[in-house]
Structures are given as structure tokens and as C-alpha cells.
Structure 1
Amino acid sequence: MQKDTNVRQGTTVKKNYGSTIDNNAVVFTIYASDKTTPVYTDEDGCFSVGEAIIEISDPTEKQFLEVEFMFGNTEVSGTVDITVHEKLDGGCLKEITRATGGDCGGTSIDAKFIQLLMKVFGAPLIHAMKREQPEAFLDLIREFEAVKRTFTPSKNGKINIAIPYSTLDTLCKQHLKKHLPSTLLSSTYDNCITLKGDKMRIDAFLFKTLFDKTIKNILSLIQEILTRKESESVTLLLLVVGFAECSLAQSEIRKAFLPRRVIVPEESGLAVLKGAVLFGHNSKAIYSLHDQQHYIELHDEAQCKNAFDIIMQKDTNVRQGTTVKKNYGSTIDNNAVVFTIYASDKTTPVYTDGDGCFSVGEAIIEISDPTEKQFLEVEFMFGNTEVSVHAVEKISGNSCQLSFDLI
């Protein structure tokens, strides 16, 4: 999955690999990179994030392995959700735009800090710390969380973070054969990260870079919302939940969206909980209007028509043979399901009838039993001269296929 690709929760990518003869096991070492198109795992900006080992049943012959990568779960990063409300008479709220967001919450900065630690100490050592000394690892993350919230843009010099010195020193001796101070001195960050007692001292400039991408993405999301016609009258921005307490994020948002007023309530981390309690007592406190142009009722259920389900985002770099699988369901009393495939000039299209969207083909699959909802698995194959789509009804095995190119 290429850097900066926007993925939905549950997105999967399957890849096929082969073992080498006489090897009893295959080790899959997973790497991440700061670069958009890395070539080698040992180049600058690449670092290991973990590994998995699978035993080979018959080492005398080449075995074929299918590896599934699952993206978009909460382990990756926190999220930011942005919506627009209008305050009505009587204290009620009307939702003007639906919630829009991305993976740019506070835990994405925690992930950047962990990546920094991996670059300094190596991924195996940090994974060993998580596994063997979880309390020490959590203490380190909690300390970073506290420092993260109070960091200001005017901060200069060094940022002090209390570390589990004894634990890290022991792990350095076990994995790197040297003490903690020597490990830091031999790292590429020896001029930016130093030790003083049980404190790790990080240059403010380096510390700020941990925030840069996340804050940039947040500002971009807010800007995109505010440029919509229905958001023209917005005069106030309300920041809630844990990351809203981050002084640097508050400062950058205030600076970017003057003269709009930015409010951060006390105990903003509890705002969602308090809102849920209020909503439970009075569900009419908030209401919204669905986009009537795309609102339909089907079998007495409210649904959205022409919703664009993004399979592969624009400008994503894919290797030959990359596959994405999605599951869909048929509607009762329909003898067939028509899969109409769309492409778009936009990165995040919402509706298939929106500007820049166009149909590239369709596939039809017959339904074995229209009296009941049937489940369909659709596989999209990328990276060849054509894009191919293969749909299968899970119970009957009925299938259809479509190929097209976008050249």
C-alpha cells in the first residue's frame, strides 16, 4: 500500500509468493518507508515494522503462499471527523454536512514517535519491548502523550521525555550489544537526541516534525469542508476529544482559519461522552437532512443511491497482480445484480453521478434464489494492461467477469 493512500476500514490486498527449495520456513519481514515509491528495503527512509514466520510443509519442492494484508483498522492511527452544524432556536443543532474525516488523529502522531524509536533502536528491539516489557512501553507512550499535548509552536531547545532507562539499556545490551548511551551516539539522530539522567532530550525542531503531516492533513480536511457552499456561513470552529488539547494543533488551526473563532472546551476529551449522554436523553437535540437527490426507500428502508464505493484510489501505485476483494449483497426479488464500474478524476468521489465520474463498463451476475438476499464476492485485479473484475455468488457459484483499460 503506497504512502499517503487513503484506505477504508477492512481494505484487503492479496499477494502471491513462492518459497525456495530446502527452506523449512519463510520469513515475511514487513517494511515501511518515508518515501512514496521506495525501491529497496535497505535504502534511506525504510524501516522494519515486524515479521511473520510460516513453516513449509515440504521443503523439497517450491510451495506457493497467499498473503493477505488488511488495512484501515484502528491499529494504524486515530481518526479525525469533521462535520458542520447550525445552531437553531431552542438550543438544538441541525447537521449541515455529514461527517468527513481521515486517519489523522492523535494516535497517528504516537505512531510517528514509535517509528522514530524504531529508527534509533531498531524495530526488533521496540517489538521486543512491547512484547516483553509492556508496562515500560506503555509508560513511555503515556509520557509522550503528556508532552505531546503541551508542546507549543514557540518551544525551542530540547524536549524532555522520561524514559524507562533500565529497560531500554537492558534491551540495547541484549539486541545491539551496547549500552543505551552508545546506541544513541551511533544513531543517525545523535545530534538531535541526547540523554540526561532518565530523560531523553529531543530537539524541538525534530519533535515538531512528528506533528507536521497530521496537522497538514487536518488543515486540508477543514479547508475542504469550509470551501463547500453550505459551509460559507461558518464562523466558529469547535475542537473536541483528546487531540483537541494539543497546543500546537490549536495554534495551527487558529492561524490557518482566521478570522473564524476557535473554541476548545474544558475537558474536551469528555465531550463525546457528554454528548452521547445528552443525545440519549433527548435524541431530537440533533437532526439532519439527507441529500434528497440521492435519497431512496427500498423495502421500507432508507438508502443512498449512486454512492461511489472506492476500490482503488486515484494515483495509487499498484504492482502487477494486485487484487482487492469486496463483499456485496443482492436485494430480494431481483433476478440479477448489475455491477457498474466507475472511474473518477477526483481523489475522493462521493457519488457516481458527480462531476468527473464516468462509467467504464458493467458486469451482470444471475441470482440463484431471488427470494432471499444472496452474498457476492467481487475481486478486482490491478496492475496488468487491463483491469479485470470477477464476481461470484457464494452459494451457487454463479460468476461473471469484466475487463477494461483506462489508457
Structure 2
Amino acid sequence: MASCSDDVILVAAIDFGTTYSGYAFSFKHEYQIDPMRIQTNNSWTSGNKHLFSHKAPTCILIAPDKTFHSFGYEAEENYSNLAFDDNHEDWFFFRTFKMKLHANMTLNRGMLVTDVYGKSMSAKTVFAMAINYLKGHMLSTLDRNHTLKDEDKENIRWVLTVPAIWNDKAKQFMREAAKEAGINNNQLLIALEPETASMYCKLLPLQKFTFSDSTREMKAFEPGTKFMVLDLGGGTVDVTIQQVRSDSTLQEIHKATGNAAGGTCVDEAFKNLLIKLVGNEVMTEFKTKYASDDLELQREFEIKKRSVTSDSGGKLSLRVPVSLVQCFQDLTKEDLKEVIEQSNYAGKLSLHQDKLQLNHSAIKGLFKHSMMDIVEHVKELLELDVCADLQIILMVGGFSECILIQDAVKKNFPNHRVIIPHQAGLAVLMGAVLFGHNPNTVASRVTKYTYGIKTFSNFREGIDPLEKKICVGDIDKCRDRFSKHVEIGETVEIDKTLDTLTYKPMSIEQEEITLAVYVTTQTNPQYTTDQGCICLGKLVVNVGKSSSDNKDRSVDVSMTFGGTELSVQARNKLTGKVTEAFFDFLEQSVISG
């Protein structure tokens, strides 16, 4: 990867989040003067005008004919109005759908995603609609505030952020969704969220940080310093261990790790609390008949949970829709206030007219599992040898702005310096713009898997299982051999081609070699059928027709790791011609021996 080329006049980044999404951009000439001169849209507003933000909810409303209708706060308002008039049932309303890509090793182009009522649509279409809206909104902003010719739009470099813990299938899925949204492949970079956040924090002045100690010194980005990036988003917890090189570039020194313990875990805990209070039947009735009120309740909780502090005397009050209380009364013939007072929640929860009040113990209970998962994961990482001299934890992402989460990290890791940028939720987005101008800032990464290709190789008597033996011509071959290209935990330089392996077609009729690509967390797998080996996709290489003067049609296959995506190159050994290899991670067919 290289720095911004001469024909790129502007970098535009889209931070496609689980709960909130936004965009930012900067012109090349502005970046050269001041890299932090980045523009965002800070006028996203909710319908009641109480909330102004740099991001909009990742919600999309699709009409009954499956055409795009609206996005973000507008989608919420429109859906709420439809639900209020009881006209919403044929519409599609999607939210938190990004999590469908998390840890999904069966992801393919035909995957469906379900809306809040279980109606399904093509996942790629839904993602593409959301990306297209954000792209169009940004271009409209440019058209209003800048002079940008149509031909100049072909010289925009687009950056799309994804969690570092995502697999190759998910990255390709996002790239193809962006293409469907009108972003050309040659204009698009996929950026890893913790890395872009680091790039942004490197350039922030001291006064833009909160420190866990009284020392107002910033040594997190001095050469040689190791630090942990704890990227807490709405859906995922994304953790990378990085070190600053002597040339100030960043290198990953441990593979990206994480889990699904982001802010939506708290939302799920709140939903479960309501179900325990009123019962499944009541909640189903409420969500079905009063979708508008249900949406308003979710929105209010989302706003209120941001303001939760660690003050032991703090309380949280939420307006409970009258319709929910009425549903409870109609179906149970009981009074909700009295039921709460006689339940195990007495003293923790109380209902006063339309206000549900949670004391500090109940509030912490909602955050408990998320906090525990985050803290335990960080503890496991800090016990690794590579983290022996790591002293700094950099917290970024929207969920990092929660004081309860901040205090949990500071309390459990008192010997580490916790650094939090102001507006931590914007670090990924702003850093993605910087990444688009200079991708070379990240010099190396660590592979998350062992990658290999399923091949037929000579059968080893007494070593290979007999059921693997297959006769090809007059030669005994072993099916399902794992031909390893790179091992889990390897540090690889960006764009450095690793060892080349040679493959041949099985018969003279073959004009292309189709090789199944597998991944595993094992260090040295022998067969692609070993436990934990997963078929990631297939590699198709054109080798041409066989002829009398072209008997050797073998190809040298090399993989380049270290970038945010995997690239493959195949060279015909006889002609020296480099053939195009298509690495398809989203092939739906089952590949077998």
C-alpha cells in the first residue's frame, strides 16, 4: 500500500457501526497542511430535536416493495409513525444487523438478514442500501459546501471500517456490499477499526485525553512503546496489541482478539429485565401492538445509559409507556407496581406512575456481563509474554465513553495507565480518514489463523490414514492434505509476499485449478478434515488448455498477508505469465475432495 496517490483529491471514510454510523472526509491539500483538519457531519438529529450527534443510528427502513426508504433517526421516526397508525407490518425495519457478520464462518452471498419482526431480505442488499445512503449523504454535503466536479468524484478514496477480529468472509462481504452501493473496488480501502483509532490518537493534543493518573504526559506513541487498543463498540469488543516502531509506524505484535460484549449486551440485559418483570407474553403483545412505543422505550434507554455514572447513590429513571403497563394489566389482571414491590426486585426497582426507577445495584446488573467479559479478556491478554512490559491501555469506541466501563477498566488494572480520548466514539471514524491518506502507517500485522489449501499429494504409507488414499493414474495420492501457506501468530510485513507453493491440475482436461482454502487455529494441521479446520472459500487459477508443447501447466501460488485483506497471485511456471487469481470467500457451494 502507498500513501495518497496524485490523482486522489479527497479521502472519505464511512464508520459502519452496529448501533451508530457516520462519515468524515478531508481533502488531500488540507491533509498536507494539517492532518487533523477532518470534517464530519455533526447535524444528525432525532425527531424530537433533543439529540445532536456526529453519527446516526444504524437503522434502515425499507418499503414493502423492498426499495430503500430512510436511514438513521429519520428511519426511526418514519417507522414509529407507521407503527402508530398500524401501517408498519408490510415494511422492513432493520437495526443492529451488522452483528450478523461477526464470527460467521458460513457467511455467503445468499445470506438473509431478518428485521425486527422476523421478515427477511438479502443481507448484502440491506448493507448496500445503508452504505449507499451514507455515501450519498456525504456527497450531498460536499456539493453544498465545496465545488466538486462529477469527474472529481472518481478520484475520491473511500475507506470502510471493519472490526479487526472479523474474518476474511466478512471483509469480502463488506467490499461487495460497497460495490453494490456504487463504490468501485479500486477506490475502496478496508480499514481495521483499532488501527485507525490508534492513528487518530497519535496526533491528538494532550488536552484531548483523559488519563487514569495525574501525569499529563503522553508517552503512548514514543518509539518502542507497546500499548493495548481496547476498541469498545456497540456490538463488538475489538482488541489489538501494538508497538510503535523507530520510524513511528505501528506494528501489531499479537493477533487481534475480541468478543461480542459491546454496548448491545447492555441493551439485551435491559430487554431481559423487562421480560422478567412483565413476562414473555406481555412483551410480545406490547412489541406487536405498540411498536411505536417499543421503539421510543429503546431510544430512551440508549440515551440514558450513556449518562450512567459509577456514583453508588446514582439512579436511572425511564419513562415506561402506558401501553406496556396496560398490556400487563389486561393479560395478567395484576398491578405492575404491586408485582414489582412483591418481587425479588423490590428495593432495586420501583414504578411511580409512568417512571421506572433503577437503583445503582440494578444499573450495574445491566452492565455486569459486559464488564466482566471485557475485564476478563484484557486480563488474559496481559498475562501473555508479549504484554510483559505493556503499561498503556488506550480505550476507544462509543462504549468507551461510558463512565461505568471506564471505571471498571481503571479499577481492575491499577498498574496500567488508561488513556481515553475525548469523544472516543469518533476515534475510529477520524482515524479512518488518516488511514486513507497514508495506509503505510501500519507496517505489520499478526495472522489470526493458519491458512492453507486442500491438495492431493503423494500418499505416505504407514503415516497417512488408508481412507485418505486415492489412486490418480498409477500414483497413490492422499486426499485432503493441508498445504500450509502461513501459520497462526506469524508477524508479516504489509504487502510482503510469503513463501510460494506450486500446484498442478489433476488431469489434462482441466483449464483451471480450483483449490479450496482452509483456515484453522491449529499451528500445524495435517489434513483439512482435522477438527477445527474450516473451508473459507476457493481459489480459482486459470492455467489454459493442455497441448503437446505445454505439458507443464503448474503454477506458483503466493499469498500476501498483512494488509486488511488477503491477496493472491499465480504465475505460470512455463510461460512466466502471471495469471489473475480470484479468491472467493463467499462461494456457497460445499467444496469436497
Band the TM-score falls in, shorter-chain normalisation: 0.5 to 0.7
Report Cα offsets for 1:207-238 as digits up to 9, x if no partner: 21222221111112112222222222322111
CA distance in 2, matches of 1:292, 1:154: 40
Q: Which residue of 2 aligns with 1:224?
A: 380
CA distance in 1, matches of 2:388, 2:328: 55
Q: Which residue of 2 aligns with 1:130?
A: 287
CA distance in 1, matches of 2:262, 2:532: 37
Q: What TM-score do the two structures reach when normalised by structure 1?
A: 0.55
Q: 1:209 aligns with which of 362, 365, 375?
A: 365
Supply the AA of the counterpart residue of 1:333.
P
Supply the AA of the counterpart residue of 2:280.
A
Give the drift of 1:84. Answer: 1.2
Q: Which residue of 1 aligns with 2:300?
A: 143
Q: Which residue of 1 aligns with 2:399?
A: 243
Q: Which residue of 2 aligns with 1:350?
A: 521
Q: Which residue of 2 aligns with 1:160?
A: 316
Supply the AA of the counterpart residue of 1:285.
T
Q: Which residue of 2 aligns with 1:259?
A: 415
Q: Is the 8 A contact 1:332 1:370 kept in 2?
A: no
Q: Is the 8 A contact 2:263 2:399 kept in 1?
A: yes
Residues 304 and 173 of structure 1: CA distance in aligned 2, closer, same or farther (over 3 Å): farther
Report Cα offsets for 1:103-158 as digits up to 9, x if no partner: 111111110110010010112322333333333223322332333333333423x6
Supply the AA of the counterpart residue of 1:139.
E
Root-mean-square deviation (CA, aligned residues, Å) is 4.5
Q: Which residue of 2 aligns with 1:109?
A: 266
Report Cα offsets for 1:279-327 as digits up to 9, x if no partner: 11111122324459957899xxxx854669xxxxxxxxxxxxxxxxxxx
CA distance in 2, matches of 1:243, 1:361: 32
CA distance in 2, matches of 1:134, 1:272: 33
Map 1:306-385; keep pairs closer than 5 Å: 333=505, 350-353=521-524
Give the drift of 1:81. Answer: 0.5
Q: Which residue of 1 aligns with 2:442?
A: 286
Q: For structure 1, which runs of at least 5 residues remain unmatched after alignment?
A: 1-6, 13-49, 53-71, 309-330, 343-348, 379-392, 394-398, 401-407
Supply the AA of the counterpart residue of 2:259.
G
Q: What TM-score do the two structures reach when normalised by structure 2?
A: 0.39
Report Cα offsets for 1:70-129 as digits up to 9, x if no partner: xx9xxxx82100001222456532222232111111111110110010010112322333
Matched pairs, number: 275
Question: Between Structure 1 and Structure 2, which shows a larger proportion of helix residues?
Answer: 2
CA distance in 2, matches of 1:110, 1:214: 10
Supply the AA of the counterpart residue of 1:108.
C
Residues 333 and 115 of structure 1: CA distance in aligned 2, closer, same or farther (over 3 Å): farther
Residues 192 and 229 of structure 1: CA distance in aligned 2, closer, same or farther (over 3 Å): same
Residues 129 and 337 of structure 1: CA distance in aligned 2, closer, same or farther (over 3 Å): same
Report Cα offsets for 1:38-91 as digits up to 9, x if no partner: xxxxxxxxxxxx999xxxxxxxxxxxxxxxxxxx9xxxx821000012224565
CA distance in 2, matches of 1:176, 1:231: 55
Q: Is the 8 A contact 1:129 1:171 kept in 2?
A: yes
Report Cα offsets for 1:339-367 as digits up to 9, x if no partner: 9x99xxxxxx832439xxx96799xxxx9
Q: Which residue of 1 aligns with 2:475?
A: none
CA distance in 1, matches of 2:430, 2:346: 45
Q: Is the 8 A contact 2:245 2:251 kept in 1?
A: yes
Q: Which residue of 2 aligns with 1:175?
A: 331
Q: Which range is displaced more, 166-175 or 232-241?
A: 166-175
Q: Which range is displaced more, 225-234 or 257-266?
A: 225-234
CA distance in 2, matches of 1:293, 1:162: 45
Report Cα offsets for 1:258-283 as digits up to 9, x if no partner: 22111111111111111111111111
Q: Which has the higher contact order (CA 8 A, sep 6+)?
A: 2
Supply the AA of the counterpart residue of 1:255.
K
Q: Which residue of 2 aligns with 1:46?
A: none
CA distance in 2, matches of 1:334, 1:251: 60
Q: Is the 8 A contact 1:143 1:161 kept in 2?
A: no
Q: Which residue of 2 aligns with 1:84?
A: 241
Q: Which residue of 2 aligns with 1:100?
A: 257
Q: Which residue of 1 aligns with 2:389?
A: 233
Residues 305 and 249 of structure 1: CA distance in aligned 2, closer, same or farther (over 3 Å): same
CA distance in 2, matches of 1:292, 1:106: 24
CA distance in 2, matches of 1:111, 1:102: 15
Q: Is the 8 A contact 2:243 2:251 kept in 1?
A: yes
